[in-house]
Amino acid sequence: GKGGEEVSVSSTAFDVAFYTPHQTSLTKNYPNPFNPSTTIDYQLSEAGMVSIIVYDLKGSEIKILVNEIQQADYHNVVWNGLNEIGQGVASGRYILKMTAPGYAETITMTLLK
């Protein structure tokens, strides 16, 4: 301590809790409509292979955003309106499909330029 005074220190134990989601889910992207990018939040209740892919309204694959094994937790991914070869896509509506263990969901997103 100051001037060589003795200083007493006490500590208290505490628990840190880590919460994993109770269910797997996909939320709406934000912002929507978007320009130039949008964020997609999702949560996994169990670890496993996750796929998140953007399609056009004709069903053609535009961009693979996620294709990997992920842990149970809260996640997000950003789509910047580019296709697989880095080209900007046209304004319009797009479908995002997420698959995970025991789960499949789609949402629509609107890109405005």
What pLDDT score does 19 carry?
A: 73
- State pLDDT tens for residues 70-83: 999 999 999 999 99
Phi, psi of 2 (to 5 degrees): -65, 130
- State pLDDT tens for residues 3-54: 556 656 555 665 555 677 889 999 999 999 999 999 999 999 999 999 999 9
What pLDDT score does 68 carry?
A: 98
50, two tokens: 């996750």
What pLDDT score does 54 carry?
A: 98
CA 61, CA 56: separation in Å to the nearest integer?
7
pTM confidence score: 0.83
What pLDDT score does 13 carry?
A: 63
- DSSP tag of 57: T
CA 1, CA 101: separation in Å to the nearest integer?
57
CA 20, CA 107: separation in Å to the nearest integer?
23
